[in-house]
């Protein structure tokens, strides 16, 4: 009878799921931060990737980059926010604009 709790504890420890390690590296990319009048298209601040020309919406853009004449060349590390933003009045199937979290950002 005394062996059963020890045996159950051993089974629980053996069946415990391990911690999954994510070896995905976040690469730094060059981009430009831009501003578009929200009254015109609803977007506001966005980032254009230099290499892919993809437009993404930063969820956590630092206040130092939030001014209307912004066209700042930056080097940025981004993580997908698993969020899509839909702007305009498009009737076509629209995948939306990808939302991202900024991990690091610096002017170049």
d(Cα 18, Cα 22) in Å, to the nearest integer? 13
- R_g of the chain, CA atoms, integer Å: 22
Share of the chain above pLDDT 70, in %: 77
Tell the residue number behind the tokens 């930063």, with chain if given. 58
Which domains are assigned to the chain? Answer: 23-107 (2.40.50.500)
pLDDT digits (tens, 9 = 90+) for 85-100: 887 766 667 788 999 9
Cross-strand bridge partners of residue 79: 101
DSSP state of 28: E
pTM for the whole thing? 0.70
- Residues in Cβ contact with 58 at an 8 Å cutoff, skipping those fewer than 6 apart: 33, 45, 46, 47, 78, 99, 100, 101, 102
């Amino acid at each position: 009878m005394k062996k059963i709790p020890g045996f159950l504890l051993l089974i629980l420890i053996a069946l415990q799921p391990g911690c999954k390690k994510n070896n995905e590296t976040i690469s730094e990319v060059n981009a430009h931060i831009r501003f578009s009048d929200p009254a015109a298209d609803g977007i506001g601040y966005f980032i254009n990737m230099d290499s892919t020309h993809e437009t993404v919406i930063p969820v956590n853009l630092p206040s130092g980059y939030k001014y209307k004449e912004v066209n700042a060349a930056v080097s940025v590390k981004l993580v997908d926010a698993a969020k899509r933003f839909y702007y305009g009045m498009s009737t076509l199937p629209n995948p939306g604009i990808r939302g991202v979290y900024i991990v690091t950002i610096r002017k170049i």
